[in-house]
């Protein structure tokens, strides 16, 4: 089954009604070399089992990148029916006992109780415990949105990567054409120089000249590097056009490194101004491709 390239950046949001709670789940993903998933929420509000299920669900959809999952409660209300009256009564009883022991006249009011509980009454609202079944619809909705956004951005990146790969393929063809006559030209120059030297000294040995020409031709031959370069570029083209269900980012990273290796080898082997210009252009185009590829899952 084929799939499109996916960007590593995206955002998704989902909501779910879990009992008396309206939960909001927001998922953000950024570039990352591996898979790093963090779940955040109100302290002590997300049970470990729920967090484990959230991480499992995210990992099933996001193979690579730094992912942040935030869970919060929306529209929290604190009607009397949800106030934990037991806590309030216990606090009031403790404060009343202390008031009598201290001989204070003013009775304990609710404001004093609230201050004693070190926060607004909303902190002591009974909430239904979060469960995976309750939060799952919001997580799935957020994952669906983030997947769609990553696919849209991936399609744009894929188009740009294909163009840059095509330019590199064209530069490889130009290098091949420029290098085809290079050994002959270099051999002619070598022969002319040796002939000029031999005119003022001993006669030129034809066998030695043939040997030097053969060694020079072998040194300047970049046909193997070009074959490997084209193979890597063809493979990149396949990944940019029709990828499998697994993340393609690591494969692309590897192939980009191999393309760079072949271009550098060609540049070091061939001391020719025209080919050097093509090599520099290839390196510049490859660097742009490399930067874009860092965004691919």
Closest CA to 14 of 145, 109, 106, 111: 145
Q: Is 252 in contact with 293 (CB distance < 8 Å)? A: yes
Q: Provide the pLDDT for residue 40.
A: 93
Task: Tell me the whole-structure pTM to 2 decimals.
Answer: 0.67
CA distances from 98 to 67, 106, 113 (A): 51, 12, 12
pLDDT of 211 over the 70 cut: no
- Tell me the β-bridge partners of 25: 14, 71
Q: How large is the angle between the packed helices 132-180 and 273-293, nearest 10 degrees?
A: 180
- Tell me the β-bridge partners of 27: 12, 69
Residue appearing with tokens 């002319």:
192
Q: How confident is the model at residue 111 (pLDDT cuts 50, 70, 90)?
A: confident
pLDDT of 251 over the 60 cut: yes
- Other Cβ atoms closer than 10 A to 207: 7
Q: Is 183 in contact with 198 (CB distance < 8 Å)? A: no
Q: How confident is the model at residue 246 (pLDDT cuts 50, 70, 90)?
A: low
Q: Provide the pLDDT for residue 123.
A: 47
Q: Is 38 in contact with 69 (CB distance < 8 Å)? A: yes
What does the alpha-carbon distance between residue 94 and residue 145 come to, in Å, rounded to a whole number? 51
DSSP string, 190-252: HHHHHHHHHTTSSPP-HHHHHHHHHHHHHHH--HHHHHHHHHHHHHHHHHHHSB-SS--HHHH
- Other Cβ atoms closer than 10 A to 167: 17
Q: Provide the pLDDT for residue 124.
A: 47
Q: Provide the pLDDT for residue 122.
A: 46
Whole-angstrom Cα Rg for the chain: 35
- Mean pLDDT, residues 9-25: 91
Q: How large is the angle between the packed helices 132-180 and 223-241, nearest 10 degrees?
A: 150
Q: Provide the pLDDT for residue 200.
A: 58
Contacts of 225 (CB under 8 A, 6+ apart): 262, 265, 266, 269
What does the alpha-carbon distance between residue 188 and residue 212 come to, in Å, rounded to a whole number? 11
Query: Based on the number of CB atoms within 10 Å of its own CB, is 253 exposed (0-12), middle (13-18) or buried (19 or more)?
Result: middle
Q: Kindly report which listed range (55-59, 111-115, 235-239, 283-287) carries the lowest average pLDDT score.
A: 111-115
Residues 114-164: pLDDT tens digits? 887 755 444 444 456 789 999 999 999 999 999 999 999 999 999 999 999
CATH topology (fold) of 10-77+129-149: Ribosomal Protein S5; domain 2 (3.30.230)
Task: Return phi, psi of residue 203, to 5°.
Answer: -65, 150
């Amino acid at each position: 089954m084929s799939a499109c390239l996916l960007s590593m950046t995206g955002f998704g949001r989902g909501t779910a009604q879990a009992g008396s709670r309206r939960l909001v789940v927001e998922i953000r993903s950024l570039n990352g070399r591996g898979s790093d998933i963090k779940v955040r929420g109100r302290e002590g509000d997300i049970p470990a089992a729920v967090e484990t299920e959230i991480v499992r669900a995210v990992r099933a959809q996001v193979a690579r990148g730094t992912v942040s999952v935030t869970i919060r409660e929306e529209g929290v209300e604190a009607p009397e029916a949800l106030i934990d009256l037991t806590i309030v009564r216990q606090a009031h009883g403790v404060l009343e006992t202390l008031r009598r022991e201290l001989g204070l006249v003013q009775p304990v009011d609710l404001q004093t109780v609230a201050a004693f509980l070190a926060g607004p009454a909303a902190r002591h609202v009974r909430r239904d415990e979060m469960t995976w079944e309750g939060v799952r619809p919001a997580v799935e909705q957020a994952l669906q949105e983030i997947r769609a956004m990553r696919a849209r951005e991936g399609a744009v990146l894929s188009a740009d990567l294909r163009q840059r790969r095509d330019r590199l393929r064209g530069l490889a063809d130009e290098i091949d054409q420029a290098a085809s006559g290079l050994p002959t030209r270099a051999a002619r120059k070598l022969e002319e120089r040796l002939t000029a030297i031999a005119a003022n000294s001993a006669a030129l040995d034809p066998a030695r000249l043939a040997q030097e020409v053969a060694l020079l031709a072998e040194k300047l031959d970049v046909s193997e590097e070009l074959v490997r370069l084209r193979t890597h570029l063809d493979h990149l083209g396949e990944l940019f056009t029709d990828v499998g269900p697994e993340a393609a980012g690591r494969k692309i990273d590897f192939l980009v490194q191999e393309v760079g290796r072949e271009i550098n080898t060609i540049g070091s082997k061939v001391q020719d101004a025209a080919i050097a210009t093509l090599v520099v252009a290839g390196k510049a185009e490859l660097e742009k491709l490399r930067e874009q590829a860092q965004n691919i899952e």
